[in-house]
Structures are given as C-alpha cells and as structure tokens.
C-alpha cells in the first residue's frame, strides 16, 4: 500500500510542477505598448516673407455727368510678409489667424481721356501702393500627409492707391485707402521641423471711393474695384512641440 501511494505521489508531483511553471509563464507581464507615431504639429506662431503678382481692376466715373473713364486692369510685382498663429485642434483640423502686408511696384500712367463739359479733356487713373489683409484661417491636414496643410481664409482687406487727375488747368494727385472684404486660400508644406513653404491666393473686393480734385466742380468715383494677389512664401514656425500623437478610436 505504501509503495502504491509513493508511486502515485511521484507521478503527480512532476505534473503539478509543470502546471505551476505554465501558470507562472502565462502570468508574466506583457511587453509595454508601442507609442503611436508623432505627427507634425502646426500649432504656434509663424512669421515669413513672400513675393508674387498683384492685379487691380477698377472703373473711374465722373460723378456729375456719369461719364466713364473706362475699366482698367493693372498688374504689378508685389512683395512683403505675413505673421500669424495656428492652433491644431486635432490631427485633422487647424485653426488660425493671419496678418498680411505687401508693397506694390507698378508704373503710373495717365489713364483714358474723357471730355467733361465745362472743363475739357480730363485723364484719370490710380496706382495701388500697398495691400494689407487680416484673416481667419481654417486648415485641413491628417495622418499620412501631416506635413501638408490645405487652408481657406477670409476677413478684411485694405488697399492704398495714388489717384492722378490731369486737366487743361492742372494736375491733381492724392493718396487714399479703400477697405473691403477678402477671401482666399492656399497650400502650405512643412519641409523642415520649423520651416514651411506656401502658395497663397487672395481676392479683395473694395468699396467705392471718391477722388475730389480741388479745381473741379464735381468729383470722380472709383467703382467696382478689386485687387487679387498670388504669392509664394516661406514661414518660420515657432511650434509648441515636436508633434501631435495619432488619435485612434476603437
């Protein structure tokens, strides 16, 4: 009987030890989870410069007679800078604000001549000197193309122009600033941790403005004026972190 019990214990003990070893092996902690990759972060202030082209469209009319000096379109080289702030709400959405200022280099001309009764041949034209905008931006990015930002923007715009009026009596010039609304958009590419390049377009619709030469009995009005800009630029981004984590939902 004793031999039978000892034999049974001898068989059970290795099996029990093997089971305990298996339980110990299964109870070992799992390796720590791999951290999700970081996306490029668009959050932060930025400042940069730009160059490109500008186009102004306008129509000047004589207020008293209604005579038109014709529609004019003027193109010019522009250059300046921009400053703004981005806040990346999530891996897909970026909100921001931006200020833009460019000088405009264009040649003056005498404009189309119109004979105004009581005055004679009058030539009127205007030349934009600078353009500035203030806008809110909404941008779209995401995993897989987090170094790219596609954005739309809208806000207000201001254009200073120098008006020139030539008459048989004298020549008159004045500078004035017209305001209006702005809409546009662009594409921005982060080619380095703190550097981005962009292509930007803006359309600025301006209010009617009045030219009042001192020697005329009436005034001239600039109507249906707008300015368009298309620029390429580079920004330095003072971002607030290396990147934003990828967000996964299960």
Tell me the per-residue pLDDT of 134-176, one tens digit each, with 9 for 90 and over.
999 999 999 999 999 999 999 999 999 988 888 888 888 888 8
Asked whether residue 11 is domain-assigned, the answer is: no
- CA 54 from centre of chain: 16
Asked whether residue 27 is domain-assigned, the answer is: no
Query: Model pTM?
Result: 0.80
User: What gap in Å lies between CA 58 and CA 96, rounded to an integer?
Assistant: 31
Asked whether residue 28 is domain-assigned, the answer is: no
User: What gap in Å lies between CA 51 and CA 67, rounded to an integer?
Assistant: 37
Asked whether residue 4 is domain-assigned, the answer is: no
In this structure, what CATH number is given to the domain that contains residue 223? 2.40.160.20
170 in helix, strand or coil? coil
pLDDT value at position 234? 98
pLDDT value at position 192? 93
Asked whether residue 84 is domain-assigned, the answer is: yes
User: What gap in Å lies between CA 234 and CA 237, rounded to an integer?
Assistant: 10
Task: Provide the sign of the torsion angle of the four alpha carbons 182, 188, 192, 194, taken in this order.
Answer: positive
pLDDT value at position 6? 46
* Residue range(s) defining the domain that contains residue 118: 41-242
For the chain, which residues score pLDDT lower than 70?
1-37, 107-111, 240-250
Asked whether residue 230 is domain-assigned, the answer is: yes
Q: Per the structure, how many domains does the chain have?
A: 1
Asked whether residue 126 is domain-assigned, the answer is: yes
pLDDT value at position 108? 61
Closest CA to 69 of 21, 114, 117, 13: 114
Asked whether residue 197 is domain-assigned, the answer is: yes
Residue 165, H or E segment: strand 148-166
């Amino acid at each position: 009987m004793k031999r039978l019990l000892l034999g049974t214990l001898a068989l059970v003990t290795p099996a029990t030890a093997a089971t305990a070893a298996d339980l110990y092996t299964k109870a070992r902690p799992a390796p720590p989870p791999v951290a999700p990759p970081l996306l490029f972060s668009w959050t932060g202030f930025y400042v940069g410069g730009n160059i490109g082209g500008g186009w102004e469209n306008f129509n000047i009319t004589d207020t008293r007679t209604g005579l038109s000096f014709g529609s004019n379109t003027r193109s010019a080289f522009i250059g300046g800078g921009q400053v703004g702030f981005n806040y990346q709400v999530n891996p897909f959405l970026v909100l921001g604000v931006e200020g833009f200022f460019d000088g405009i280099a264009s040649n003056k001309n005498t404009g189309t001549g119109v004979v105004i009764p009581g005055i004679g041949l009058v030539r009127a034209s205007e030349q934009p000197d600078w353009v500035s905008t203030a806008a809110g931006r909404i941008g779209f990015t995401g995993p897989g193309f987090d170094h790219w930002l596609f954005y739309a923007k809208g806000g207000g715009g201001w254009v200073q122009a120098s008006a020139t009026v030539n008459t048989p009596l004298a020549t008159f010039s004045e500078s004035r600033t017209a305001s209006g609304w702005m809409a546009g958009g662009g594409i921005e590419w982060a080619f380095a941790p703190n550097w981005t390049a962009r292509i930007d377009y803006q359309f600025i619709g301006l209010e009617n403005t009045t030219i009042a030469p001192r020697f005329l009995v009436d005034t001239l009005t600039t109507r249906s004026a707008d300015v368009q800009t298309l620029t390429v630029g580079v920004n330095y981004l003072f971002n607030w972190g290396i990147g934003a984590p990828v967000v996964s939902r299960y």
